[in-house]
Amino acid sequence: MEHGENQIVVVDDDGNEQLCEILFTFESEDFGKSYVLYYPAGSEDENGQVDIHASSFLPGEEEGGELQPIESEEEWDMIEQMLATFLEEDDE
């Protein structure tokens, strides 16, 4: 994972690179990981909606860290709660 100020380049399993906008990052003491929520740059539909992706990462490792898949339902539940809180605050 390479990154700029508010962007990251995500590389898929086939080696294809995609520029993504970072929505927000956060750390979880419960899981001992950092998380990033992001979406592909320029992927907004006509209503301004985007498909949000989430990954865990270990900051500071090779070029900003390597994205890892979310491993459990408990992690997904926590991420969904964080996203809901973020969206509520963004609406205010």
* Count of residues in the chain: 92
Contacts 24+ apart (CB under 8 A), 8-12: 8/36, 8/38, 8/64, 10/38, 10/53, 10/67
Which range marks the domain in which residue 58 is found?
Answer: 2-91
pTM of the model: 0.81
Q: Average pLDDT over the chain, rounded to whole? A: 86
| Number of domain units in the chain | 1
Q: What is the pLDDT of residue 49?
A: 87
For 1-18, what is each residue's pLDDT tens digit? 555 578 999 888 898 999
For 29-46, what is each residue's pLDDT tens digit? 999 999 999 999 988 888
From the list 81, 78, 88, 84, the residue with the least C-alpha distance to 32 is: 78
Sorting pLDDT into bands at 50, 70 and 90, what band is 52?
very high
